[in-house]
Amino acid sequence: MARDLEQYLRPGIGATTFCPGCGEAILMRLILRAIDELKIDIDDMLFVSGIGCAAWIPSPYFNAETLHTLHGRAIAFATGAKMFNPKLKTMVISGDGDLADIGGNHLIHAARRNIDLTVICANNMNYGMTGGQVCSTTPQGAYTQTTPQGNPYRPMDLCKLVQAAGATYVARYSVTQRVALINSVERALQTRGFSFIEALTPCPVQFGRRNQLGAPADMLKSLVDKCVMKEDAENLSLEELKGKIITGEFSDGCS
C-alpha cells in the first residue's frame, strides 16, 4: 500500500489476508486512490460487502463505516442504509460469485431501480475463498475444483447484464489498467444513480494454478495483453478480438 493511503486503513490490523499475487490488494489501493483524489471525507462513506475474498477489501481494512454482510446480499443491505440515510456515500465492494451468482437478483433489481450506489465487482473468474470453484464468470473450458473436465458453460457478461437492467454508469477495467480504473471509480462515485464497475483481477493461487497460467506476474501480463479498450476494439476484426477482453465505459449517464 502506498504510504500516503495508509491514513485510510484501520489502525492495528497489520498485513492483509490476500494470497500472494492476488490482484485484490491492487484494487484496494486503486479504490482508495480514487477516494483520495476526489478528496472525499472517508467518514462520509459507507462500505458494504458480502462474503468472499473481495468482501474483505473494506472489512476490516478501511478505517470507515463498514457493513460486512451475508453472502450475496450486500446490495440489499446497502439499499436499506442508503434509502434511510441518502447522505451516506455508499460503495459496495464484493466479488463475482457474491454479486453475480448468489446475489444476481439483487444486482439486477438495484440497477433497475437505479439507486445511488457504487458497486465494484472484483471479478477473479472463480470462487477464491472456498478453494477455487466454478463461477458464472469462469471462461468456458477453464478448470476449477468443480469442473475437472473444464467448464461446460459460457461465462456471463456482467456489464451487459447490469447495463440492460438500467444502471446509469457501467464500466469494465482490469487492475492492470490502473489509471483508467482509478478514473472509473471516480466517475462512478460522482454518478447519481447506480454505478457498476467490473474490475478484472488475477487469482493465481486458485484459478491460475489449475489453468497453468503461470506466476502472478504472468497473469498480470496476460491481462495487459488481453484487455482492449472499447474504442480500439471497434477497429478490430472478430478474428483479432478472439480471446480479448473489451474494457472501457459501456454506459455513462454523467456525460
Q: Which residues bind another protein (CB under 8 A)?
A: 10, 13, 43-44, 46, 48, 59-60, 63-70, 73, 76-85, 87-88, 105-106, 108-109
CB closer to another protein, 80 vs 141? 80
Crossing angle, helix 178-190 and helix 24-37, to 10 degrees?
50
Helix H or strand E segment including 173: strand 169-174
Q: How far is the CB of 113 from another protein (least distance, A)?
A: 8
**Smallest gap, in angstroms, from Cβ of residue 43 to another protein?**
4
Nearer to another protein, 103 or 216 (CB): 103
Kindly tell me which of 68 and 244 has the beta carbon lying closer to another protein: 68
Q: What is the dihedral of CA 124, 128, 134, 135, to 10 degrees?
A: -50
Shortest CB 74 distance to another protein, Å:
8
Closer to another protein by Cβ: residue 43 or 225 = 43
Q: What three-state secondary structure class fits 47?
A: strand
Q: By the 8 A CB rule, do 230 and 246 touch?
A: yes
Cβ-proximal residues to 242 (8 Å cutoff; 6+ apart), any chain: none
Dihedral angle sign, alpha carbons of residues 72, 54, 141, 172:
positive
Our CB check for another protein shows the closer of 45 and 182 to be: 45
Q: How far is the CB of 166 from another protein (least distance, A)?
A: 14
Minimum distance of another protein from residue 183's CB (angstroms): 27
